[in-house]
Amino acid sequence: MKIIRVLFGTQPKQDEQNRILARYNKMHSDIEELKKRPYHDFTAITFGDKNTFLANENGFKCCQCWDAPYKYDPLKETYIHKLYAIQFAFEKYGEDVLYLDWDCLPIRPFNDSEFKWNSKITANLQTYRNGGKAYWRKDSNVLLNGGFLHIDNPDIIDGIMRLYEQEKSEGHAVHNDEPILMKWVENHYGWDRAKWEEMFEAKQCRLNRMGVYPNKDAFFVHYIGSLPNRFRR
């Protein structure tokens, strides 16, 4: 299993107050918190020389997948960079891939043998305050969280990238990877909320808020949000 995190983007200018671009500043504080918890080995997949330098400066193993800091539109296709990095990792390393957001942090030591996967794709189910993300069904505020994502084989991520291209061509918003991931799951397995925990839920991670399942024995916590106290367990 190859564990990856992804560095992409640039430092926003002072007049760029967009929330999506501001994620780059938040990422720096997440990295500082992560360095306090050296419980796991991972590789940073980087976009552009400056992000490769940032990874090296922080002592992370890294592999650059693109020459520029963005491959996709920084506003309209922001988180597609994550999906591309997963696809790149499969091509580069030939192993199953566990992707982690920078604010998905280990809370205790573990080893890879403790990870058991029930499905070809594994993630946490989340309930968003606002609906519309899963626009194709009634309970549109419930979908997977992309911050802890295990994918079993390259055919899956290739299919997800094809779905992204389809969604884009049909005029759907594609800045967020989560609706695309969720739609791929439903296209192949259907949607049955009652069966999600057994089939797809990541037992190794829990969300600090808005998670459907508590997963109290998790190795990781995904600290959603930007409040100063968000790293409390």
* Percent of the chain at pLDDT exceeding 90: 73
User: Quick check: is 16 in a domain?
Assistant: yes
Sign of CA dihedral 146, 51, 10, 14: positive
User: Quick check: is 232 in a domain?
Assistant: no
203-207 long-range contacts (CB < 8 A, ≥24 apart) are 203/116, 204/110, 204/114, 204/115, 204/148, 205/104, 205/124, 205/147, 205/148, 206/124, 207/124, 207/126, 207/145, 207/147
- pLDDT at position 206, please? 94
Name the band, by pLDDT with cuts 50, 70 and 90, for residue 227: very low
Summarised one tens digit per residue, pLDDT across range 130-177 is 877 899 998 899 999 999 999 999 999 999 999 999 999 999 988 899
Which helix (H) or strand (E) element contains residue 143?
Answer: strand 142-151
Mean pLDDT, to the nearest integer, of 107-128? 90
The CATH number linked to 100 is 3.90.550.10
Strand order in the sheet with 220-222: 104-106, 220-222, 205-207
User: Quick check: is 231 in a domain?
Assistant: no
User: Quick check: is 142 in a domain?
Assistant: yes
Three-class SS of residue 183?
helix
User: Quick check: is 230 in a domain?
Assistant: no
Do 71 and 32 meet the contact criterion of CB atoms below 8 Å apart?
A: no
**Domain membership of residue 105 as a residue range:** 2-222
- pLDDT at position 230, please? 58
Number of domains in the chain: 1
Q: Are strands 121-127 and 142-151 parallel, antiparallel or unpaired?
A: antiparallel
What are the angstrom distances between the C-alpha of 137 and each of 39, 41, 143, 178, 192? 39, 38, 11, 15, 12
User: Quick check: is 129 in a domain?
Assistant: yes
Q: How many CB atoms are located within 10 Å of the residue 141 CB? A: 15
> Does 33 have pLDDT greater than 80?
yes
* Percent of the chain at pLDDT exceeding 70: 93
What letter represents residue 226's amino acid? S
For residue 201, the 8-state DSSP code is B
